[in-house]
Amino acid sequence: MTPVADSLSALVRLRAERPEAVAEAAARRKRRRLVRHADDRLMIVAADHPARGALAVGDRSLAMANRFELLERLRLALSRPGVDGVLASADVLDDLLLLGALEDKIVMGSMNRGGLAGAAFELDDRFTGHRPEDLVRHGFDAGKLLLRIDHEDPGSLDTLHAAARTIDAMAAHRLPVFVEPFLCRRVGGRLRNDLEPAAVATSIAIASGLAGTSAYTWLKVPVTDEPGAMARVMEASTLPAVLLGGDVGDDQDAVYGKWRDALRLPTVRGLVVGRSLLYPADGDVAHAVDTAVSLL
């Protein structure tokens, strides 16, 4: 299919002159099933960070601030063999639709982006992104919500309640929803996720029990640092799960090894990785994506 916009400059013109082109592109997009074959492993590229004001990658504070560069990196990542789809906010998905980059891909909309990075209200994470009806209208394939819980912050309860009702609404539309749970706390005024095995297992148990049904719920979970702990952690739920990539850091081989080990667990069905693939330390997006795909 010929892309609606064949360049980023054409994309900008199209947005100004024909806003209805987004809906038209969504209506004719070739779709695919989330899981097409038994034992499929998913490779999803994440790019929903900017909508929460999280633009940093490593020590580069504004690495994701250039939208044109981000789109080029996303197009390259999505073109690599073995990449199944993308997770992003509405503005990024609209851009990718207009560029024709979402054909035969899983499209996952990011739902709650109100907990802005570093804000006093960060844990009162309102659903300011995709609603279930938006995902249905555009023919997208899944949604994703972030669920951070701090026992000392009352805002966590509002997010917990909103998450449960959103899972209900997604199930009513028979749409999968990927829940990304964390127990967290403030350290020196900054929010820190607790990646100890007990905390991750507890967050999984809480997320699994939300809403009136878990039939369409998937989990999006971090890999713990403790060697061998993921097998115990993932026993907290029978729900299908994907691994959250996060920042790889300096020791890429060690992180890839942890992902590879966790992908052997029975409930783990793939990877959702963003900044470490789109902005690798050596700048080689294709190589980073291909390496992650090889782990599957």
Q: What's the whole-model pTM score?
A: 0.94
Q: Residue 92's pLDDT is what?
A: 98
What pLDDT does residue 157 have?
92
Look at residue 254 in the predicted model and tell me its pLDDT. Answer: 79
Report the pLDDT averaged over residues 77-97: 97
39, with CB counted inside 10 A (0-12, 13-18, 19+), is exposed
Share of the chain above pLDDT 70, in %: 97
The answer, yes or no, to whether residue 228 has pLDDT greater than 90, is no
Per-residue pLDDT reduced to its tens digit, 41-59: 999 999 999 999 999 988 8
- Greater confidence (250 vs 69) lies with 69
pLDDT of residue 155: 84
Residues 116 and 136: their CA atoms lie apart, in Å, by 26
The CATH classification number of 42-294 equals 3.20.20.70
Among 289, 198, 196, 178, smallest CA distance to 241 is for 178
Return the structure tokens found at 114.
């109100």
How far CA 287 is from CA of 46, 49, 156, 257, 271, in Å, comes to 17, 22, 39, 16, 16
Measure the CA–CA gap between 269 and 189, rounded to whole angstroms.
35
Structure tokens at 181: 């749970």
Residue 196 in this model has a pLDDT that exceeds 60: yes
- The chain-wide mean pLDDT, for the chain, equals 93
pLDDT value for 249: 61
Span 170-179, pLDDT tens digits:
999 999 999 9
What is the H or E stretch that residue 8 is in?
helix 8-17
Listed by start position, the domains of the chain span 42-294
Token pair listed for 146? 């972030």
Q: How far apart are CA 123 and CA 114, in angstroms?
A: 9
